[in-house]
Amino acid sequence: MATHYYNPDDERSLQGVGADTSKIDDLYTKKAEGEIEEAAKEDAEAEGNEKKNFHKKFMEMDEADIKAEPESKTDSTVEDILGKKMAVALIAVDWKYKEIAMKIMYKQAEKQLDMQMKADQQ
């Protein structure tokens, strides 16, 4: 349980929802009506669609479009196995490219292992 203390001598002002009591009242009435949960579901769906669109955009883009960290070199093994775009994505400035590259690598490795396990069972 969190406890908040108010010091009237404190010169800092409240910001955000706490600064306006009408916003606090709106927050509680929306929660009572279930609007917050609906908004959270819509936000989650929008975020999922955004990730899918980014993945599709990544697959269609050229490796020259990905900004790499200065003075960094791509790994030749990754480049040979997965391609130049994946190697550049792993040294990208934007963390989203790194995340997508890692996901793709994981999925490809998982598929390879599944195929090997099926072949070994037969």
Q: Residues 37-82: pLDDT tens digits?
A: 666 677 666 666 676 777 778 888 888 888 888 888 988 998 898 8
Residue scoring higher pLDDT (83 or 27) = 83
15: pLDDT strictly greater than 70: no
| 44-71 b/e (C-beta count within 10 Å ≥ 16 → b) | eeeeeeeeeeeeeebeeeebeebebeee
Q: For position 30, what pLDDT does the model report?
A: 64
Query: How confident is the prediction for the chain on average, in pLDDT?
Result: 77
Three-class HEC string of the chain: CCCCCCCCCCCCCCCHHHHCHHHHHHHHHHHHHCHHHHHHHHHHHHHHHHHHHHHHHHHHCCHHHCCECCCCCCCHHHHHHHCHHHHHHHCECCHHHHHHHHHHHHHHHHHHHHHHHHHHHC
pTM here is 0.53
Paired strand residues for 92: 68
Q: For the residues 7-35, what does the mean pLDDT come to?
A: 63
Is 60 exceeded by the pLDDT of residue 97?
yes
